[in-house]
Structure 1
Amino acid sequence: MRNIGIVCEGPTDYTILKEVIDHITGESNDYVQLQPEADLTGAYGNGWKGVWKWCRDNAACKEKLMRAVEPSLDLLIIQMDGDVSRKEKIAHCLCNATKCEYKGKYHPLECDSKKEIRESCPIVLPCAEHKTSVNAYIRHLEQLIIEELQDMSDTCIVIPCDSTESWIVAAYDGLEDAEEKEDPWKNIIAKKKMYHEIRITGKQKRINVFKEFAIVVIKNWENVTKLCVSARAFEEHVKSHCKC
């Protein structure tokens, strides 16, 4: 049993990730949801910007933070959805292809908070430096996180593409192009009131529904790793860190 900290975009991602990790390691682990905070109203909020802010603010003290948790953390998981690379301009602020008068003067998250700068942002998507592919999205966001954290000891990054919901549709529907579907929650899972006999209430993601999803994701995990390069990479990284 390990004590594992998770920094992720939201509570539904947390629900899926911890079940997947238990399945990969073959044992029940203890988990600490570091980000977002349980009430979603903490210092960083939720979503991908919250993950980025957490990495930025905790980079210098990551090792100390991991030791401060009781019991201390054996592994830190950082999750960000691949759609960030596909559709979020500020994620490309630091790319070599980006030419901007404010580059280097502000952190991209600071730029985004300044309305006058945000509205004149020169970034055009897709970014010339990152091809529109699953592998490119993963490499881009992994590098973004690595450059922010620096110290990657006992740390594993996971970038589900287009989002964690891609693993769900891969598990349920066996789609070979599951990771190429844009916004699978909106366009597949929540498109109708029922998804594989599971009731979907509006567009809101509910933890109890994702707990049901997690059961099927684990049951079909071998197929998910065949269909989703991000799931396969995550399994390899977790096994490497945990010596499974």
Structure 2
Amino acid sequence: MKNIGIVCEGPTDYIILKKVIDLITNETNYYVQLQPEPDLTGQYGNGWKGVWKWCCDNADIRKQLMKDITPRLDFLVVQMDGDVSRKEKSAHCSCPSVKCPYKGIRNPLECDIKPEDRDACPVILPCQNHGAPITGYMEHLKGLLSTWLKEPDDTCIVIPCDSTEAWIVAAYDNTAEVEFIKDPWESVIAKRKTYHDIRISGKKKRTRIFEQFAPIVCENWEQVTNLCQSARDFEQSIYTLSHQT
């Protein structure tokens, strides 16, 4: 059994990640949800910006934090959806092609606060500094997270593309090129009132729904990895880390 800390965008991602990790490692592991905090009232909030803030604020103390938690953490898993690279301009502020007077001066997240600042952002998407999706999204965000974390040798960085929900669609529907579907939650899963006989109540992602999704994702995980490059990458990273510790 491993003791694993998870930093992710939301509680629904946490549900899928920990179930899949147990499958990959073939054991029931102990998990600590570091971000977002379980009640979603923590200082960083949820979503990709919460992951960004957590990584930046805890980079210098992360290794000590892992030691201080009881039981001591063996490794971390940090998740950010690939759609951040696809659609969030502030994630590209440090890219070489971007010419911005605030580059290196202002935290890019500050530019997302006011509509006028967002409108004035010089970033043009898709960014010319990254390769084609899906590899381009993964490499871009892995690079950012590695920079923020500083020493990510004890960390699995996972970038589900377009989001964790793509793995769910792959598990249920066996959809080719599923990682290219934009926002699979709204465009596929929550498009109707039910998804494979599971009732979907509006557009809000609810943990009880994802608790029902998780067993099917695990049951069809080989299918998911066949369809999703991001899932294959995740599996390999978890396998490597779990055998190092």
TM-score > 0.5 by shorter chain? yes
Farther-moved stretch of structure 1 (95-104 vs 111-120): 111-120
Consecutive unaligned residues in structure 2, runs of 5 or more: none
CA distance in 1, matches of 2:90, 2:160: 19
Stretches (4+) displaced over 2 A: 110-119
Counterpart for residue 119 of structure 2? 119
Matched, 1:181 2:177: no
Consecutive unaligned residues in structure 1, runs of 5 or more: none
CA drift at 1:144? 0.5
Contact 1:16 1:210 in 2 (8 A): yes
Farther-moved stretch of structure 1 (135-144 vs 123-132): 123-132
CA drift at 1:109? 1.9
Counterpart for residue 235 of structure 2? 235
* Residue correspondence of structure 1 range 81-92 to structure 2 within 5 A: 81-92=81-92
CA distance in 1, matches of 2:12, 2:182: 18
CA distance in 1, matches of 2:230, 2:220: 15
Counterpart for residue 97 of structure 2? 97
Counterpart for residue 171 of structure 2? 171
* Residue correspondence of structure 1 range 93-172 to structure 2 within 5 A: 93-113=93-113, 116-172=116-172
Corresponding residue SS for 2:153? coil
Corresponding residue SS for 1:153? helix
CA distance in 2, matches of 1:88, 1:201: 27
CA distance in 2, matches of 1:117, 1:202: 31
Contact 1:86 1:132 in 2 (8 A): no
CA distance in 1, matches of 2:111, 2:185: 29
Corresponding residue SS for 1:157? strand
Matched, 1:210 2:210: yes
Letter in 2 for 1:29: N
Counterpart for residue 219 of structure 1? 219
Q: How many residues align?
A: 244
Counterpart for residue 41 of structure 1? 41
Superposed CA offset, 1:173-193 (max 9, x none): 001111010000000000001
CA distance in 2, matches of 1:81, 1:137: 9
The root-mean-square deviation of aligned C-alpha atoms, in Å, is: 1.2
Counterpart for residue 75 of structure 1? 75
CA drift at 1:132? 4.3
Indicate how the Cα distance of structure 1 residues 150 and 194 shifts in structure 2: closer, same or farther if over 3 A, else same. same
Counterpart for residue 31 of structure 1? 31
Contact 1:126 1:132 in 2 (8 A): no
CA distance in 1, matches of 2:118, 2:169: 34
Letter in 2 for 1:95: C
Contact 1:9 1:36 in 2 (8 A): yes
- TM-score w.r.t. the length of structure 2 is 0.97
Counterpart for residue 5 of structure 1? 5
Counterpart for residue 53 of structure 1? 53
Corresponding residue SS for 1:156? strand
Superposed CA offset, 1:145-178 (max 9, x none): 0111111131110000000000000000001111
Farther-moved stretch of structure 1 (148-157 vs 18-27): 148-157
Corresponding residue SS for 1:129? coil
Superposed CA offset, 1:18-75 (max 9, x none): 0000000000000000000111121100000000000000000010010111011001
Counterpart for residue 192 of structure 2? 192
Counterpart for residue 20 of structure 1? 20
CA distance in 1, matches of 2:27, 2:131: 38
